[in-house]
Structure 1
């Protein structure tokens, strides 16, 4: 067949510009031409198409068996013809017979365009998928496009992601062109390109923001040991360092609070408590209940529970609004925390041994708290 240098030159250009292998494109074209042969030969089971990698010449070959008497010309060849064309072959051997149709150059040219366009789309989709798959479990900056119902369409550069209502912080509203940080939960490959699930509520968003903002965390000097978050309201984070000269909390807060404030601004005012991690659960629980002061902590490591006593005037602070401070402390430490005031403890000690424990009775203002269990 006539060579098709233009095809090879075009594929070489695509390989350079699109970073798509010429061999991948040629293989796809060969496979496509095999399917096209079915229309010409009635079947393509024994057909192979070969495109010369240098000249672009297209050849069609049929696999045929050398037999004494031909009953199926599409898959068999006579001994006389076989030995004439393939001197080294003998009866029973299988040979590759060129059967390139006269008009196959035109068919190949038509198919080439279709295959190349389709393969470019597929390869670009794969490149996009792998590009964003590498960012899974990390943060990216997105530009808000528009609201789609209660969901938000966000452009991540080369692809759009949907921030669903479930992954939005309650009360947060965005305007088109707003730049926001997002945590990529999952990247899935689909026929329409990568489908990216993003979040503003995930605790790892806060963790990644600190990694980006705090050099000591990024370099592994300071480690985030645990994090508990109620998105849009408050996050508690426990940090640790083995370096005696470094204050892990101070490193996260930054000079005049610059580092933590940058993250608070990104989270639109969400409060962040940073505490020092300790392997001693008593110390950890006491730190986790900050800013409340603690009188004593008794822990049961097997039950993963703790009884905490705080001064009367600190009980409300330790529990927090609607129990949030104690709830986050429990999540941060992994311990069930029972908080009581000093007067509650004294009243229990003064009561007779057979009296039942006081039940929880939370009221507003100055009314009495009888303990809070988390």
Structure 2
């Protein structure tokens, strides 16, 4: 070994941020194991790496005792005092036992330790970078596909897109560029493992933050998201500024903003509704595009009964109950939908009233523009 090792460690400390002292301590610990393994020694030893010259020496450590039972670990008081007269029982004597060809083993061991530490440091840097990106969106490139995962390159690392997080209406091919939502970053023995999703509601939320400046700067707030990936989604928005139309801001001029998100999600329909802390108004908005006659609220059960015109019943419920299901997820209220005829029979209908059309817009409105 020579000072070249120390120079290399100094460069690593500067470029990789790996503490030189920590690597030296790791090399010393590894050399103890290497010495015992290669020279069939069982005694206690200490390896010293000279911080100035890079040379390494091995010292056997023996306890000074009255009676020696194991010469590999113990030394008598008389033998110890022959080395130095100040040794007494209970002291530890160190004697150099560096083998002649220890330099070759030391160089190989040091290389392995440094390589391992560099790899661990790089993994640590990647983990630190991506743990801060949890619940964020990134653009990746599809690398390969198997029965369990799609492997998406995020630059320094490949992320895993599981089958159940893939959009049912999408076909993925190698070299495709896709936006993914980082759901989980795990630290494993083989390095950080990153899981991503194309179906998570957070992906929709992040896409709106990218496309809508008013959401990014906080003027418009996304209150809730309900999503059935690849088919339809609902998103509720609100602005404290009365001069800002939150729904219109998300839709954009001629629907350009929401259409960009629809294109990214391969045609997934998106309903944008105005949020309200009044459950009557919010539930009515959430059920759009259906018109609502009346909303009756049961605060105790957090449930609502929604009355709609007879001809709007199927629209309010939606295909396979999807519209009602998404509205319930969006509002976090149970929703029971009844037609005007059924409500009248059950005595649920109040006096006839003019209801305002729900404040809502859908990406469908701009598909043909």
Using structure 1 for the length normalisation, give the TM-score.
Answer: 0.84
User: 1:81/1:212 Cα in 2 relative to 1: closer, same or farther (>3 Å)?
Assistant: farther
Give secondary structure in 2 for the equivalent of 1:152: strand
Task: Work out which of the residue numbers 315, 318, 321 in structure 1 matches 2:316.
Answer: 318
The offset of 1:255, in angstroms, is: 2.8
1:4 aligns to 2:8 (yes or no)? no
Match of 1:143 in 2: 141
Matched residue SS, 1:269? coil
Deviations, residues 19-55 of structure 1 (Å, cap 9, x unaligned): 33322322221111010121336225x3222212332
- Residue 120 of structure 2 corresponds to which residue in structure 1? 122
In the alignment, the residues of structure 2 paired with residue 209 and residue 23 of structure 1 have an alpha-carbon distance, to the nearest angstrom, of: 45
2:277 counterpart SS class:
coil
The 5-angstrom pairing of residues 184-263 of structure 1 reads: 184-263=182-261
The aligned residue for residue 50 of structure 2 is 52
Report the counterpart of residue 263 of structure 2 in structure 1.
Answer: 265
**C-alpha displacement at 1:80, in angstroms?**
4.5
2:56 aligned with 1:92, yes or no?
A: no
Could you tell me how far apart the structure 1 residues matched to 2:242 and 2:103 are? 76
Cα distance in structure 1, aligned partners of 2:318 and 2:346: 23
1:67 positional shift: 2.7
Q: Tell me the equivalent position of 1:43.
A: 42
Q: Kindly indicate whether residue 145 of structure 2 is the aligned counterpart of residue 133 of structure 1.
A: no
Query: Where does residue 283 of structure 1 map in the other structure?
Result: 281
Determine helix, strand or coil for the equivalent of 1:12: helix
Contact 2:77-2:87 at 8 Å conserved across structures: no
| Contact 1:37/1:43 (<8 A) preserved | no
Checking the alignment, whether the CA contact within 8 Å between 1:151 and 1:164 is kept in structure 2 is yes
Q: State the distance in 2 between where 1:246 and 1:154 align.
A: 38
2:105 is matched with 107
- Which residue in 2 is equivalent to 1:359? none
- Whole-angstrom distance in 1 between the partners of 2:148 and 2:11: 45
What is the CA deviation profile of residues 84-104 of structure 1, one whole-angstrom value per residue up to 9, with x for unaligned ones? Answer: 655665332234444333332
The aligned counterpart of 1:342 is 340
Please tell me whether the aligned partners of residues 167 and 201 of structure 1 are also in contact (alpha carbons under 8 angstroms): yes
Q: Which has the higher contact order (CA 8 A, sep 6+)?
A: 2
User: 1:160, CA displacement in angstroms?
Assistant: 1.9
Deviations 1:301-341 (A, max 9, x none): 11111111112232222222222111100111111111112
- TM normalised by structure 2 equals 0.85
Q: Is the 8 A contact 1:50 1:60 kept in 2?
A: yes
Corresponding position of 2:302: 304
Q: 1:189 is paired with a residue of what secondary structure?
A: strand
Residue-by-residue CA offset, 1:328-359 (whole Å, 9 max, x unaligned): 00111111111112222223349xxxxxxxxx
Residues 1:71 and 1:165: Cα distance change in structure 2 (over 3 Å):
closer
Task: Decide which moves more: 89-98 or 158-167.
Answer: 89-98
